[in-house]
Amino acid sequence: MADLKVRPHAPDADGAVLEVTPESAGWSHVGFKLIKLGAGQTYAGGAPDREACLVIVAGTADITVGNQSFVGVGGRTTPFEDRAPGAVYAPAGAAFTVKAASPVELAICTAPGTGVGAPRLIAETDMSREVRGSGTNTRYVRNILPESEPAEGLLVVEVITPGGHWSSYPPHKHDTATPTEETALEETYYHRIDPPQGFAIQRVYTDDRSLDETVTVEDGDVVMVPRGYHPVGAPHGYDVYYLNVMAGPKRNWIFRNDPAHDWILRPTSPTQD
């Protein structure tokens, strides 16, 4: 297994600043690529055997998938802005182009596909919002491509964790195919930090501790989660955004909490006199 953290680099010729492929990760399903474009620049992509969810993390772009065009996708200036990202679904086999109308941060989320489905704009009304947890476990979730919306394998979600809070917590995992109890899904976390000089902490560990790594995450890093539990901590003063991409043999998100920490979710027992 490769190192769990992937750090960004200066944009290459097509604007890519980092990439995770099944080959580089040592797994079978999830792909992730982050592109940065200046206004007027264009990125072209698409693969015959991989579907894609194109997420405009920040900025505005015109996107063409096959013979369909979507104009003015996105619009927020930062992922910490309280509004939905722009997002377009591209089935496997469909070529796509993204032309930036402003500086653009483009996430290309991919998984194996056969070409089922049609290109579509994912409307803000189709991205359900949730507030999960309570107290210092509160975080804010936007489901960009949940299992209730059409796709072959991809699941895509973004989360904002306020400074001083925890997320993906209590620690949970989804690495075993156990019907009705847990599904096997690979996952990437693309992290942004506000303000950007901050950091976050992510631990990835298994029950038997054959994998047990604690990763210091800085602005723009990706953490790969091949298996195991994977909580995230946001230090005081620094809000943490992450974009999750999940995929596996079955498009269904069923997770299991670490039994050692599951008590956190139980109602507090009444105080005894």
**Averaged confidence pLDDT in the chain:** 96
Mean pLDDT computed over 211-234? 98
Among 30-44, 93-107, 229-243, 255-269, the least confident range: 255-269
Q: What is the pLDDT of residue 267?
A: 73
Say which CATH number the domain at 213 has: 2.60.120.10
CA 218 to chain centroid, in Å, comes to: 16
Is the pLDDT at 233 greater than 60? The verdict is yes
Mean pLDDT computed over 201-224? 98
- Overall number of domains in the chain: 1
Residue-level length of the chain: 273
What band does 3 get if pLDDT is binned at 50, 70 and 90? very high
Is the pLDDT at 1 greater than 50? The verdict is no
Q: What is the pLDDT of residue 97?
A: 98
Q: What is the pLDDT of residue 2?
A: 57
Q: What is the pLDDT of residue 272?
A: 40
Mean pLDDT computed over 214-240? 98
Q: What is the pLDDT of residue 128?
A: 96
Q: Is residue 273 part of a domain?
A: no
Q: Is residue 271 part of a domain?
A: no
Domain that holds residue 97: 5-263
Mean pLDDT computed over 240-254? 97
Q: What is the pLDDT of residue 266?
A: 85
Three-class DSSP category at 137: helix
Per residue in 98-146, pLDDT (tens digit) is 999 999 999 999 999 999 999 999 999 999 999 999 999 999 999 999 9
Mean pLDDT computed over 79-98? 98
Per residue in 34-76, pLDDT (tens digit) is 999 999 999 999 999 999 999 999 999 999 999 999 999 999 9
Q: Is residue 79 part of a domain?
A: yes
What band does 268 get if pLDDT is binned at 50, 70 and 90? low
CA 256 to chain centroid, in Å, comes to: 19
DSSP letters spanning 66-121: TTEEEEEEE--SSTTSSSPPEEEEE-TT--EEEEESSSEEEEEEEEE--S-S--EE
Q: Which of 68, 40, 43, 41 has the alpha carbon at shortest distance from 55?
A: 43
Q: Is residue 269 part of a domain?
A: no
End-to-end CA distance of the chain: 53
Q: What is the pLDDT of residue 273?
A: 35
Q: What is the pLDDT of residue 154?
A: 98
